[in-house]
């Protein structure tokens, strides 16, 4: 097995960086929910790490990346083969003679995990935990693994020539469209638009956004799958677009609402990260600024859509990830420059004609439609079989205490005085008079 | 004896406390409270969604005083807590039958 040690080291680090994004997302989402459901929100991200890792090892990697050679090649357009189930045969292979295939598999696993976790933001406060666990397994199996194969694994969108550097379509449009479907399946939270549903801890949101930003360097620059010039470009473009988008969101807020907010800066940063994802290794820095500007400003408005259209996408997965993902994917059709690649269809602004733009529109439409429809069906089936939503009383009491038997915070002295002994029920009060 | 309760602006607490100490009051109970009155609240905006918060943070201060001191204590509080703007709060007093110091069992004025 021939490998490059520099690239191998970078891919190992990138893999760990991308994995960190999921606990980071748990903070980002957890802070935005109400205090009574912070733990459930964070648990939905954490449990995705468990279920997706197991399914990935068993068959997910194979379905996404085993390029089967059959006579017609038709099956390979849709889904990978089964040669790598249980990660069989992965040890002996190397990716492009650059780094071990096992590292590639681990790297791609972290993408599958966060894509699933991203969806959970739409169903804050009200989902049955067991139903979510089942959903993560089924959704990864019949939506994520095939879509990753379409775009990155040699499937039909790869063959057509759609470009998605680090997962704008596979991760963000995919998760965003699924979130919209799931918001419709579960319905609105009790009291939506009547009661205040303010973020309960914006410091957690900022911590989470910071961890996402940090991890995203592995996500984007790691997606070059080598330590080289393109990785450096992707790294810098990630920084540029994120900073510009966070600033753009603040400017929109200042002029629209009168105040620049911390939730705004965190949201704008994530919108910029999302939008630059498909483009980061393919565009010049000026274009990264443009993409950041568009994403920050557009997503700041897109999050208001749910109030106009009446769906409770609780933490704005649609407004940030679907909209940001589409902006990035389509922008590539205009500004793709491919500074490090030859023989590509350049974007419209670089004299590349309409071909790439057309493909960059086709990708989001195809993936978005597939994800939305299939997710809606999965959600409805789970709802029929086991119920996807907790009952009204549990929802009003709080999903943390009713589902997990925990609360996120213990701030009052009166509440904590009722806590039981460590390993058993509360001892009965002593009947003997204690000496005064 | 009388129980004097004052609901005041939080940033005035230190001034009121100092004034009461100077007057000779030895103890008080302070708690955080939310007020609803002419001051109205404020608007918070999260991702463009506006929330009208009509409860305003206040401090609730309770002081026990002897009958003869009560009016003076009220004056001390009002003078120290006043800014002249809407939302300065209210002070009121009610008669108290019994006061007991838990540690010693003393009753009445000795318990203050």
The closest alpha carbon to A298, from A332, A280, A278, A321, belongs to A321
The closest alpha carbon to B30, from B55, B66, B1, B5, belongs to B5
What pLDDT does residue A77 have? 86
* Host domain of residue B76: 2-111
Residue B48 sits at the chain A interface (C-beta within 8 Å): yes
Supply the ipTM of this predicted assembly. 0.73
Q: Is the pLDDT of residue A130 over 60?
A: yes
Give me the CATH number covering residue B10: 3.30.70.120
Block residue for tokens 């996402």 = A212
pLDDT tens readout for residues A276-289: 999 999 999 999 99
Contact predicate A322/A289, CB 8 Å: no
The string of DSSP codes covering A243-276 is HHHHHHHHHHHHHHHSS--HHHHHHHHHHHHHHH
- Determine, for residues B47 and A303 on separate chains, whether the beta-carbon distance falls below 8 Å: yes
What pLDDT does residue A75 have? 81
From the CA of A41, how many Å to the nearest CA of chain B?
19
Q: How confident is the model at residue A196 (pLDDT cuts 50, 70, 90)?
A: confident
For residue A192, which residues of chain B lie inside 8 Å, CB to CB? Answer: none
Q: How many domains does chain B have?
A: 1
pLDDT tens readout for residues B54-106: 888 999 999 999 999 999 999 999 999 999 999 999 999 999 999 999 999 99
What pLDDT does residue A415 have? 54
Contact predicate A212/A27, CB 8 Å: no
- Determine, for residues A259 and B51 on separate chains, whether the beta-carbon distance falls below 8 Å: no
* Paired tokens of A157: 């969108």
More confident residue, A69 or A436: A69
Picking from A198, A267, A300, the nearest residue to B44 by CB comes out as A198
Residue of chain B with shortest Cα separation from A265:
B47
- Determine, for residues B49 and A261 on separate chains, whether the beta-carbon distance falls below 8 Å: no
pLDDT tens readout for residues B18-44: 999 999 998 999 999 999 888 888 888
Average pLDDT score over chain A? 92
What pLDDT does residue A425 have? 56
Which string of b and e fits A19-46 if b means at least 16 CB within 10 Å?
A: bbbbbbbbbbbbbbbbbbbbbbbbbbbe
Range of A162-166, A325-329, B85-89 with top mean pLDDT = A325-329
Residue A263 sits at the chain B interface (C-beta within 8 Å): yes
- Determine, for residues B47 and A196 on separate chains, whether the beta-carbon distance falls below 8 Å: no
For residue B49, which residues of chain A lie inside 8 Å, CB to CB? Answer: 304, 307
From the CA of A320, how many Å to the nearest CA of chain B?
11
pLDDT tens readout for residues A249-265: 999 999 999 999 999 99
For residue B45, which residues of chain A lie inside 8 Å, CB to CB? Answer: 253, 257-259, 261
For residue A259, which residues of chain B lie inside 8 Å, CB to CB? Answer: 45
Cα-Cα-Cα-Cα dihedral of A373, A379, A380, A383, to 10°?
180
What pLDDT does residue A341 have? 83
Cα-Cα-Cα-Cα dihedral of A288, A289, A293, A296, to 10°?
60
Residue A304 sits at the chain B interface (C-beta within 8 Å): yes
HSE-up (13 A, CA, CB side) for residue A356: 25
Contact predicate A309/A27, CB 8 Å: no
pTM over 0.90? The answer is no
Separation of alpha carbons A379 and A187, rounded Å: 11
From the CA of B36, how many Å to the nearest CA of chain A?
17
Give percent above pLDDT 90 in chain A.
81
Residue of chain B with shortest Cα separation from A266:
B47
User: Residues 310 to 339 of A: which have CB under 8 A from any B CB?
Assistant: 316
For residue A264, which residues of chain B lie inside 8 Å, CB to CB? Answer: 47
The stretch A177-191 carries a mean pLDDT of: 96
Residue A205 sits at the chain B interface (C-beta within 8 Å): no
């Amino acid at each position: 097995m021939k490998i490059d040690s520099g690239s191998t080291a970078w891919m190992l680090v990138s893999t760990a960086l991308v994995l960190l994004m999921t606990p980071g997302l748990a903070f980002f989402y957890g802070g935005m929910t109400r205090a009574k459901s912070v733990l459930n929100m964070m648990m939905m991200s954490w449990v995705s790490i468990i279920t997706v890792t197991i399914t990935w090892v068993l068959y997910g990697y194979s379905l996404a990346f085993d390029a089967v050679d059959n006579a017609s090649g038709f099956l390979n357009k849709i889904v990978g083969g089964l040669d790598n189930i249980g990660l069989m045969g992965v040890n002996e292979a190397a990716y492009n003679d650059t780094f071990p295939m096992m590292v590639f598999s681990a790297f791609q696993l972290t993408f599958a995990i966060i894509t699933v976790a991203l969806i959970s933001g739409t169903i804050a406060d009200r989902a049955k935990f067991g139903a979510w666990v089942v959903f993560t397994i089924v959704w990864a199996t019949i939506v994520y693994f095939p879509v990753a194969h379409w775009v990155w694994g040699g499937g039909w969108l790869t063959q057509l020539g759609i470009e998605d550097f680090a997962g704008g379509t596979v991760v963000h449009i995919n998760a965003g469209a699924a979130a919209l479907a799931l918001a419709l399946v579960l319905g609105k939270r009790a009291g939506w638009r009547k009661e205040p549903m303010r973020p309960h801890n914006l410091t957690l949101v900022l911590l989470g956004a910071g961890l996402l930003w940090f991890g995203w360097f592995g996500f984007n620059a790691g997606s070059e799958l080598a330590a080289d010039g393109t990785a450096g470009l992707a790294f810098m473009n990630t920084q540029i677009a994120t900073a510009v988008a966070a600033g753009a969101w603040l400017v929109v807020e200042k002029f629209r609402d009168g105040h620049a907010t911390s939730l705004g800066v965190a949201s704008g940063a994530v919108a910029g990260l999302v939008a630059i994802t498909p483009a980061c290794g393919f565009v010049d820095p000026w274009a990264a600024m443009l993409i950041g500007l568009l994403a920050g400003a557009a997503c700041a408005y897109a999050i208001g859509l749910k109030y106009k259209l009446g769906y409770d996408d609780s933490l704005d997965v649609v407004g940030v990830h679907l909209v940001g993902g589409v902006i990035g994917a389509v922008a590539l059709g205009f500004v793709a420059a491919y500074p490090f690649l030859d023989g590509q269809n350049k974007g419209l602004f670089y004299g590349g004609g309409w071909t790439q733009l057309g493909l960059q529109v086709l990708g989001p439409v195809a993936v978005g439609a597939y994800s939305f429809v299939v997710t809606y069906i999965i959600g409805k089936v789970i709802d029929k079989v086991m119920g996807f939503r907790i009952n009204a009383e549990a929802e009003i009491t709080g999903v943390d205490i009713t589902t997990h038997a925990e609360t996120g915070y213990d701030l009052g002295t009166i509440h904590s005085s009722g806590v039981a002994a460590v390993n058993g029920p509360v001892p009965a009060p002593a009947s003997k008079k204690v000496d005064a | 004896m009388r129980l004097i309760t004052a609901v005041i602006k939080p940033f005035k607490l230190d001034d009121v406390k100092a004034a009461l100490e100077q007057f000779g009051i030895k103890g008080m109970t302070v708690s955080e409270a939310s007020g609803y009155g002419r001051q109205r609240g404020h608007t918070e905006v999260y991702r463009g969604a506006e929330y009208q918060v009509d409860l305003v943070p206040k401090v609730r201060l309770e002081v026990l005083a002897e009958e003869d001191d009560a009016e003076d204590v009220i004056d001390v509080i009002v003078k120290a807590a006043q800014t002249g703007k809407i939302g300065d709060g209210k002070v009121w007093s009610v008669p108290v039958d019994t006061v007991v110091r838990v540690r010693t069992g003393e009753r009445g004025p000795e318990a203050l």
